[in-house]
Structure formats: structure tokens, C-alpha cells
Structure 1
């Protein structure tokens, strides 16, 4: 059975992104779906290693479909003492992705600074 995991790397400071709030949403393909087509599945906060303590989804919970991870990057950098403009350039980073095989592992990390971010599919 597969699983979904994430972690955050703060490349502006060269360390894991500890204390970042992460929200996981399932997306409904129907435009008229209640709640704007998003269902909140889980909220977590990254640990000292920049990871969530457990997989976000695993086993039977991991289903094919469309998802979003929302990282509260602006709040994180504000707690790190970074002087940010108002409004923040990056506040919440949203990564939309698909799960096409629930038997596989999906690792969706966020590599970020206050001014940029990137991601990739890991395992």
C-alpha cells in the first residue's frame, strides 16, 4: 500500500522548515461541488526535521485523484524574524498534484525561501 508524505526545506537559512502549518485537501472535479470543490483531509505542523510526524495519507486512505497541499510559508518566515513586505510576496504556497496509483509512494516536498519555491515528486 502506498503513502503520501511531505517535508519542508528552508533554503534561505539552510535548514529544515520546522513549525510550518500544512493543510491537505482532496479536490472534487465537479465545479459545483460544495465548499468550492475542496475537502480538508488533514492539518499538521512540521517537526524539527521539517517533516510531518506521520504520512498524510496511507493505505486505504490514499486514493487516486487530485489533491492540494497548502503550506503556510509566510507565517513560518515571520516567526523566523524575516522582514516581509505587506502583503507578503509568498504567503501560502499551494501545490496541486495528482495521485494516479494508490499502491505507490508519493513524497511532495517544498523547498522554499521568502521569494521562491520549488517541488518535485519523490518516493
Structure 2
């Protein structure tokens, strides 16, 4: 896939995709934080939004925010309110708009890993 930003989340403690987790994607420009996308992840834990195909993506700094705490509570996992992890922000830079930036989140109620995947 060429161009675009995809977000994907998996609860690795239970081995399930984070279907329904709310995610936001912001473009950070000139000290301003502009929302590019906000959605809930699909059944496979992936974002289904035009930004995945490159809509609105330009070179620059972005921040993805994964709302872990509310999702865990909705799953009945027993996360307190507030949870140990309420949100997982991930700030990254798009340097080549022709490349695809796949950003998977692997998480448990106590920690997470965010990286650029293939």
C-alpha cells in the first residue's frame, strides 16, 4: 500500500484485536494541533478511515492517540477509572508521503509498544 497512515491495536494480554477502541490522529503544524481523523477501530483492530489511503496526509509531524482505558473498561477487563493507562499517545514524522506509515499498538492493561510496522 502506498501513502497513508494506518493505525492498528491488539490486546496482547488476551490475544484480541481492539475492536471499538477510539483513536484520534492529529497533524501538528505551526504549534497547532489539528484533528485529521477520529474513529473507532474495526473488528480486526484496524482504522477504517480515508487517511489510511493518504487523504489529507502531508509531510510533517503527527500524533496518534489510542484510548486504552475506556476500551478496557468496556471489555470488562477491570481497569479502574482512571486506568493505569488511559491514553497512549504516539508522535511521529511523515517524511515521504509516498510511503505508507503503519502504526501498530500492542498493549496490556499495564504497558504498551508502539512502532512503525510493515
TM-score under structure 2 length normalisation: 0.90
Tell me, what secondary structure is at the counterpart of 1:96? strand
Deviation per residue, 1:12-55 (Å, 9 max, x gap): 1111111100101001243xxxxxx2111110111111011245
Alignment of 1:85-104 (within 5 A): 85-104=80-99
Which of these two proteins has the greater Rg computed from alpha carbons? 1
Aligned to 1:41: 36
Return the match for 2:48 from 48, 53, 77: 53
CA RMSD across the alignment: 1.6
Structure 2 equivalent of residue 72 of structure 1: 67
What are structure 1's unaligned runs of at least 5 residues? 31-36
Q: For the residues of structure 2 that align with 1:80 and 1:96, how far apart are their CA atoms?
A: 27
Q: Is there any run of 5+ residues in structure 2 with no aligned partner, and where?
A: none
For 2:54 and 2:34, locate their aligned partners in 1 and report how far apart those are by CA, in whole Å: 19
Contact persistence 1:5–1:55 (CA under 8 A): no
Tell me the distance in 2 between the aligned counterparts of 1:57 and 1:50.
14
| 8 Å contact kept, 2:102–2:116 | yes
- Give the number of aligned pairs: 117
Aligned-partner Cα distance in 1 for 2:8–2:23: 10
